[in-house]
Amino acid sequence: MSYDLVVKGGTVVTAADTFVADVAVSKGKVAAVGQVAAGDAKVVDARGQIVIPGGIDVHTHFDMPFMGATTADDFTTGSTAAVFGGTTSVIDFAIQKKGEALRQAFDTWREKAEGKSAVDYAFHMIVTDLPEKQVKEMDKMVDEGVSSFKLFMAYPGIFMSDDATIFRALSRTKENGGMICMHAENGGVIDVLVQKALAEGKIEPKYHALTRPMSAEAEATRRAIALAEMAGVPIYFVHLSAGDAMDEVRRARERGQPVFAETCPQYLYLSYDDYERPGFEGAKFVMSPPLRPKGNEERLWKGLVRNDLQVVSTDHCSFCMKVKGGKAGKELGKKDFSKIPNGAPGVETRMLLLWDAVSKGKITQNRFVEITSTTPAKLFGLYPRKGHLSPGADADIVMIDPRKKHTFELKNLHANVDYNPYEGKTVDGEITNVFVRGQHMVEGSKLLGRTSHGHFLRRPPRSFN
């Protein structure tokens, strides 16, 4: 058997096992895992390094218009940041404008991504408008490989759906095999709290967090779980931040309901205290849901260990602080926290932040692979093509040198954004090589592959109930 590439002698870590092996690649696919004769193949020495299936980030927003701004990263810069950070596939969000056909939103986002992504990409569809006559459009999207839909219980007037719309969408996924991804925060209550704070002259970034309490997330999570139960379908919670919301997920799972949830590194590593930074600094951390008080992160870590939470994604939604390239920044909200574009970067830092947790003994190596790659692939129809290193899988391979340390510095990161939430933080481990479908994309700090290498991934309907 002849191969194109052999990643030689590394410690292969999958969600299930850890073993020393070579990974042989032929025509972009894993051809063998074991001891192989490299022959004429290109050999990359992985001795002493960790070899894992490429990270899958199921929550990014590239080239997204939102709150009077547009995210700093388009598909080119966002996917370049992803691949340097050890993420080889992303699922981004196409957004349906009110009154628009879902198909139109899909076409718009395909155009934004086509030929401009270093990593493979798929889409969820953000549904903002779903009258009864449009419900069947969801089926067409599932047929096109967009088999998950995000709905919002927050952002009234922009994204928020009422319970009837949510129930309609959930019920339709029973017919078409789609999955609903839910942004669970009680938008009506939050709006009242925001208006009250502003009327009292409370305008600083920290009031973003103080007007979005944990119970607003827990209540919406509980309500969405009940709606999914009535519809008889699974549900997936995006960017779960609050321990109290996680408890709702845990209780539902203990009852046997198919409920899943992701959290994000910002909720594991940052806290409300970051809003108290001097001046307008707190705006860097304005995202929804907001960062929570110290102590909450320990509940989430426990939840990741116990499988109350199944995935860590990023919600990469990068806005610059200042105007850049004609795009407005977070300074839009200098005099009113409610006008700060919500979101923060994270796609490049996720894998190492989580590897650091392995090194510090918070999670095992296998759990690290499970929550960053294997389970995301399984829940969103990419498995076994993605999320695992076994013959027949795409050769999306990441090498981490566990003997090295890495310090996050804006000047070395690849996102097109003027700050980094983890600036100066040193973590254990360094990403040394990244391959996407066998193509050597990253070696150290060098980009070897093209930023047009990524393919659109059609995802099949859900295979579980």
Site map (CB under 6 A) of ligand DUC, residues 11-50, x = contact: ----------------------------------------
Nearest to Zn ion of 33, 245 (CB atom): 245
Which residue, 224 or 317, is less far from ligand DUC as judged by CB? 317
Q: Please say which residue, 211 or 342, places its beta carbon nearer to ligand DUC.
A: 342
Q: How many residues bind ligand DUC (CB under 6 A)?
A: 9
Q: Considering the complex, what minimum distance in angstroms separates the CB of residue 64 from ligand DUC? A: 7
User: Between residues 155 and 380, which has the closer beta carbon with respect to ligand DUC?
Assistant: 155
Q: What is the 3-state secondary structure (H, E, C) of the chain?
A: CCCCEEEEEEEEECCCCEEEEEEEEECCEEEEEECCCCCCCEEEECCCCEEEECEEEEEECCCCEECCEECCCCHHHHHHHHHHCCEEEEEEEEECCCCCCHHHHHHHHHHHHCCCCCCEEEEEEECCCCCHHHCCHHHHHHHCCCCEEEEECCCCCCCECCHHHHHHHHHHHHHHCCEEEEECCCHHHHHHHHHHHHHCCCCCCHHHHHCCCHHHHHHHHHHHHHHHHHHCCCEEECCCCCHHHHHHHHHHHHCCCCEEEEECHHHHHCCHHHHHCCCCHHHHHCCCCCCCCCCHHHHHHHHHHHCCCCEECCCECCCCCCCECCECCHHHHCCCHHHCCCCECCCCCHHHHHHHHHHCCCCCHHHHHHHHHHHHHHHCCCCCCCCCCCCCCECCEEEEEEEEEEECCHHHCCCCCCCCCCCCCEEEEEEEEEEECCEEEEECCEECCCCCCCCECCCCCCCCC
Whose Cβ is closer to ligand DUC: residue 126's or residue 371's?
Answer: 126
- Using the minimum distance from each CB to Zn ion, give the nearer residue, 219 or 315: 315
Interface residue with ligand DUC, options 52, 225, 287, 395 (CB under 6 A): 287
Minimum Å gap between C-beta 355 and Zn ion is: 23
**Window 51-90: contact mask with ligand DUC (x via CB under 6 A):** ----------x----x------------------------
Contact string 324-343 vs ligand DUC (x = CB under 6 A): ------------------xx
Tell me which residues in 306-325 interact with ligand DUC (CB under 6 A).
315, 317
Binding to ligand DUC, residues 137-196 (CB under 6 A) = 183
315 binds Zn ion (CB under 5 A): yes
Which of the residues 175 through 194 are near Zn ion (CB under 5 A)?
A: 183
Nearer to ligand DUC, 116 or 183 (CB): 183
- Total of chain residues touching Zn ion, rule CB under 5 A: 2
Nearer to ligand DUC among residue 185 and residue 297 (C-beta): 185
Minimum distance, C-beta of residue 258 to ligand DUC, in the bound complex (Å): 23
Of 140-148, 187-195, 310-318, 349-357, the window that binds Zn ion (rule: CB under 5 A) is 310-318
| Distance, CA of 391 to CA of 315 (rounded, Å) | 31
Positions touching ligand DUC (CB under 6 A) are: 61, 66, 183, 287-288, 315, 317, 342-343
Positions touching Zn ion (CB under 5 A) are: 183, 315
